Amino acid sequence: MNTFVAKYVPAGSDGQVDRAAQRFGLIAVAGELATLSRVTPWREREATVAAADALARWIEARGGTEAAEIRQAVEQVRLAIEAHGESGCQPVDDPDAKPVLNRLGWRKGHGAEREWLIPSQIWRAEICNGLDPQLVARILSEGGMLRRQSGRELQCVVNIGGNSRVKAYVLTAAILDGGCNAS
Reported as a single tens digit per residue, the pLDDT across 131-178 is 999 999 999 999 999 999 877 789 999 888 777 889 999 999 999 986
Q: Which residues of 9-20 are buried (b: 16+ CB within 10 A; e: fewer)?
A: beeebbeebeeb
Give the pTM. Answer: 0.69
pLDDT truncated to tens, each residue of the chain (183 aa)?
999 999 999 998 999 999 999 999 999 999 999 999 999 999 999 999 999 999 999 999 988 898 888 888 999 999 999 998 888 998 888 878 888 888 999 999 999 999 999 999 999 999 999 999 999 999 999 999 999 987 778 999 988 877 788 999 999 999 998 654 433
So what's the pLDDT on residue 182? Answer: 39
Whether the CB-CB separation of 154 and 160 falls below 8 Å is answered with no
Sign of CA dihedral 79, 131, 172, 155: positive
So what's the pLDDT on residue 66? Answer: 84
Whether the CB-CB separation of 73 and 139 falls below 8 Å is answered with yes
- Give the CA angle between residues 106, 111, 117 to the nearest 5°: 20
What is the DSSP pairing of strand 165-172 with strand 156-159? antiparallel
Partners of 83 in the beta sheet? none
Q: SS3 for 117?
A: strand
Domain ranges of the chain: 2-62, 68-176
